[in-house]
Amino acid sequence: MATPNALVSQYVQDVKELDSYLTGSAITINGSTLTLSQIAAIALYPPSSSPNSVKIQLTDDQHVKAKVSASRAVIESKVAAGISVYGVSTGFGGSADTRTDDPIALGAALLQHQHAGVILPTYAPSSSTAIPTLSSFDSNAFPSPAPLSDPFTSTTMPPPWTRAALLVRANSLMRGHSGVRWELVQKMAELLNKGVTPVVPMRGSVSASGDLSSLSYIAATLIGNPGIRAWVPLPHPSSAIPSTFSTPLSTGTSSPHSSPDLSPFSASTPLPPSADTLDLPTDTLKVDNHGSYALLPAPQALQIAGITPLPLSSKEHLGILNGTAFSAAVSALVVRGARGVSVLGAVLTAMSVEAMLGAKGSFDPFVSEARPHIGQIHSARLMHNLLAGSSFASEHDVEVKIEDDAGVLRQDRYSLRTAPQWLGPQFEDLAHAAQVITTEVNSTTDNPLIEPPSASNNQTGQVHHAGNFQALALTNAMDHVRLSLAHIGKLMFVQLTEIVNPAMNRGLFPNLAGGEVGLDFAFKGVDIAAASYVGELNALGGMNVGVGNVSAEMHNQSVNSLALISARYTLTALEVTTLLAASHLIVICQALDLRALSEELRESLPGLIRSSLTNTFPSLTDDTTSALLVAAIIPALTEALDRTTTLETNTRMYKVASACVVPLVTALSISPVQGAELSALSVFIASIAAGLVDKLTELRCAYLGVQPFAVRGASLSAEGAKVAWRGPAPASKYLAPRTRALYEFVRVTLGVRMHGAGNLRGDVFGMRDGLDGEDGTIGNGVSVICEAIRDGRVGRVVVGMLEGIEGL
């Protein structure tokens, strides 16, 4: 069994567990064992036409059902006996000094005052009689302005949040502490399994007496309140249904012939129904793997789904509302994603080590054993294993004499060398947050709590008035997760910007240009965008929502956790970190390709030097002497190649070739080359420079899939030249077997190619790729990777990379 802080093993288990549900394994809830993976499966994969559609089933454990029945019996007995019970005969919160003997009407009044959330645009009917305030003012004389943001999506919770909250609340009510009927839990499960998802306001909860307002919209949907709207999947085939809608840039009602696609689970959601009722053919609705959806008043939504509304009984209105389900649900989805991003951060660090020719030795077990924080140990072990077998990452820094060490950075920079010490605390905090949230979703968060009859309460049951609805445990967890995401993002950003920067990237082209550096600025824009992402993360990570407090509800709710607000901000941080991770990954892949290209260029140096020596100095026939000359020249050429990457190719290679003059002349002093032959040094330099230009051009063409004759400014001699494309993943042979999997996933599976072909060809300096070329924009590539992180495909690759690593 994994240790409490073993975040990596938690993550691997989570990915595998989720996949098991997506392939048909049942999800059974019993009030005590709900997992983050189960919440994600229900929230993110609504019912569809797939035979493996994810659904939940309630436990058939009679002990669980008996506890619920016993709890309900306590409420019914006290109501029958005329005993005053909070929320059954009293008002709520600061109004608990009022009394009533009508618990059903009281529950309805609870829902009524909590339905105060704002959802735009409204579909409430307007008054037929206008009362103008100024006789000269004509309200119809002005056009409606375009909204600054989508009114609907900016004021309502995404359906996955609501589905997750429904699941969490049902799981809590099953615990037998809430005084509700088993039928209520069954009805909530039916909503989930038939895909009916209430539209819930984004804001309005202080998460002190639970998420009252948010949960009231779930309660209203269960009873079929016509003032509440819900998403409902449509049957296939289906007839026209009554529905209405507005266009994204209009507050008016459009015709049925201009209907937008409607799907609450797609990337963008149009505005909801407006005032008029239209017949909307189902073939105008979006059809994807989640089916077709309509946005309807709750009674119609329930009718289409074949669900009978459930009139609530005494205490059940409060039983639904008085809990932390929305705060816990969003937190569960967020911490699950944050766990994945943190593990990906370690994977990207390992790949950055390869891209930067760093040292695997930074992650040697000896280092972490000397400072045994569990997070540091696990992150270092992970990265050390990921780098096994890499041609680019050295085991340790090579020991050299002092005189041979001048001007060399003896160790990797902090972003690589201290990554375990940086990521380790985040691993620990995120593992702890996941534990806190898992506890919360398997808890009872009502007030009052109903204790079934027992010897300790004279077999009459006990009503406990307390405060399990106070969600500060979630707030603290989310505040810490948000800070951890900011730290992880900071590390990604620094690694990214060092890889792009020619002053730090150990010989790679500036901005990772695939074409000519003066006309290809490649990933400079990504570097700038990443700075904006990390700037936003810094602001989000610096927030401490938990210390904010605003007294609410007649000062009864005098301390408020604001957990849902913290979870929302943390979700924003997760989304920004995902953008940063995708940017980092595309940069790493480009850097690995260029590193492989540079490695091949260096591998060609001995043959190029030997050929130029033979052609320039005819008296140089001794192979041993030639080998000594080659060995003497290569260090100077290699060093010059590393420090001249910002120069245009022809200028650069002449400068590189000139760097070999001193070591060559020194070495020639003990060779057969004498007298007049030494005057051919300029010929030798020109030969080396030309050879380097040709070789670099050939490699660029091979890596980018461009023929030499198509290169901008190609000479006539290039007309007959042919170069074989190295394929989409030319760096594979140099990489560690584990890191190679993610690199090839990006390059081969996602089809995000090495950048620079358009720039090398000079087709409007790469701009055509953004219009009708095969590569698309750089941003498109980042977007493709970002989507693969979001939908779990990258996670599955990462889990495969981790197989067989012990001790995580």
Q: Catalytic: 734?
A: no
CATH number of residue 690's parent domain: 1.10.274.20
Give the pLDDT confidence score for residue 409 in this predicted structure.
67
Within-domain flag for 242: no
Does residue 742 or residue 519 have the better pLDDT?
A: 742
- Residue 761, judged by CB atoms within 10 A of its CB (0-12, 13-18, 19+), counts as buried
Is residue 211 included in any domain, yes or no? Answer: yes
What per-residue confidence (pLDDT) applies to 87?
81
**Spatial distance between the Cα atoms of 318 and 183, rounded to a whole number of angstroms:** 16
Q: Residue 203 carries which side chain, given as an amino acid letter?
A: R
Q: In this predicted structure, what is the pLDDT of residue 260? A: 38
197-211, 522-536, 697-711: which has the highest mean pLDDT?
Answer: 522-536
Instruction: Give the pairing of strands 462-464 and 278-280.
Output: unpaired
User: Which CATH number does the domain housing residue 94 bear?
Assistant: 1.10.275.10
Report if pTM > 0.85: yes
Q: Which of 544, 560, 592 is the last residue of a domain?
A: 592
| Residues paired with 280 in a beta bridge | 241
Pairwise CA distance, residues 111 & 786, whole Å: 40
Measure Cα distances from 544 to 208, 210, 563, 569, 788 in Å.
Answer: 17, 20, 11, 10, 31
Alpha-carbon distance values, 651 to 6, 517, 575, 656 (Å): 53, 12, 44, 9
d(CA 632, CA 610): 12
Q: Are residues 346 and 308 in the same domain?
A: no
pLDDT digits (tens, 9 = 90+) for 591-644: 999 999 999 999 999 999 999 988 888 777 677 777 888 998 999 999 999 999
Which amino acid is it at 739? T
Quick check: is 11 in a domain? Answer: no
Is residue 428 located within the same domain as residue 554? yes
Task: Evaluate whether residue 292 is within a structural domain.
Answer: no
pLDDT tens by residue, 401-412? 776 666 666 688
Per-residue pLDDT at 194 exceeds 90:
yes
Distance of CA 662 to the CA centre of its chain: 53
Do both 318 and 332 map to the same domain? no
pLDDT of the residue at 616: 86
Statement: residue 311 has pLDDT above 70 = yes
Q: Which pLDDT band holds residue 131 (cuts at 50, 70, 90)?
A: low
Which carries the bigger pLDDT value, residue 546 or residue 537?
537
How many Cβ atoms sit within 10 Å of the Cβ of residue 772? 7
pLDDT tens per residue across span 261-281: 456 666 544 434 433 333 433
Q: Is the pLDDT of residue 115 over 50?
A: yes
Specify whether 765 is located in the same domain as 780. Answer: yes
- Nearest 5°: the CA angle 181, 187, 190 is 150
Whether the per-residue pLDDT at 137 is higher than 60: the answer is no
- Phi/psi of residue 706, nearest 5 degrees: -120, 135
Res 645: pLDDT: 95
Closest CA to 538 of 494, 498, 496, 472: 494
Is residue 495 domain-shared with residue 363, that is, in the same domain?
Answer: yes
Average per-residue pLDDT for the chain? 86
Say yes or no: 774 and 684 in one domain: no
Q: Given the DSSP bridges, would you call strands 56-58 and 27-29 parallel, antiparallel or unpaired?
A: parallel
Q: Let me know whether 746 and 685 are in one domain.
A: no
pLDDT recorded at residue 279: 40
518: CATH: 1.20.200.10
Greater pLDDT, 492 or 768: 492
Pairing outcome for strands 293-297 and 197-198: unpaired
Answer yes or no: do 433 and 395 share one domain: yes
Higher per-residue confidence, 239 vs 492: 492
> What confidence score (pLDDT) does residue 48 get?
77
Residue 248 lies in a domain: no
Evaluate whether residue 513 is within a structural domain: yes
Q: What would the pLDDT profile of 146-175 be if each residue is shown by its tens digit?
A: 889 888 989 999 999 999 999 999 999 999
pLDDT band at 560 (very low <50, low <70, confident <90, very high): confident
Within-domain flag for 255: no
Average pLDDT over every residue of 525-550: 92
Percent of the chain surpassing pLDDT 90: 61
pLDDT surpassing 80 at residue 285: no
The one catalytic residue in 45, 86, 293, 734 is: 86
Confidence of residue 136 (pLDDT cuts 50, 70, 90): low
Query: Which of 77-86, 304-313, 666-675 has the weakest average pLDDT?
Result: 666-675
Same domain, 92 and 172: yes
Work out the angle between the directed axes of helices 661-668 and 681-704 (0-180°, nearest 10).
130
Token pair of 554, please?
């007649």
Q: Report pLDDT for 109.
A: 86
Q: Are residues 546 and 673 in the same domain?
A: no
* Number of domains the chain is built from: 4
- Between 213-217, 242-246, 260-264, the lowest mean confidence (pLDDT) is in 242-246
Kindly state whether residues 33 and 172 are assigned to the same domain.
yes
520 alpha-carbon distance from chain centroid: 29
pLDDT at 288 > cutoff 70:
no
Domain boundary among 592, 612, 643: 592
**368 shares a domain with 305:** no
DSSP 156: B
Quick one: average pLDDT of 339-351? 98
Which structural domain range is residue 175 located in? 19-121+148-237+297-323
Could you report the per-residue pLDDT of 437-464, keeping only the tens digit for each? 999 999 999 989 999 888 788 788 888 9
Predicted pLDDT of residue 496: 98
Percentage of the chain with pLDDT > 70? 85
Contact 359, 413 (CB under 8 A): no
Tell me, yes or no, whether 268 lies in a domain: no
